[in-house]
Amino acid sequence: MNESAEMRLTELETRLAFMENTVQTLDATVAAQDRVLADLRREFEQLRRALEGVRVSLDVDTHDEPPPPHY
């Protein structure tokens, strides 16, 4: 192999190593974001159920209320 081809091969190997590192970093980031998203979804569902419980316990229908005096 001549010197030019060897330099090009070394450059490609270096680029590949950086790309593999980038892919691993991105994979870890996506996995962490997926865990955060799953946690947020669980919290949202808990809040939704709690809000529904409050609505039921108040048993208030806003359509039955008269409009405020300034209307």
Note the pLDDT tens digit of each residue in 5-58: 999 999 999 999 999 999 999 999 999 999 999 999 999 999 999 999 888 888
Task: Please determine, for residue 71, whether its predicted confidence score (pLDDT) is greater than 70.
Answer: no
pLDDT at 39: 98
Given this model, what pLDDT does residue 66 score?
80
For the segment 60-66, the average pLDDT, to the nearest whole number, is 70
Residue with tokens 């569902």, as numbered in its chain = 45
Amino acid at 21: N
- Output the pLDDT for position 60: 62
CA distance 71 to 68: 6
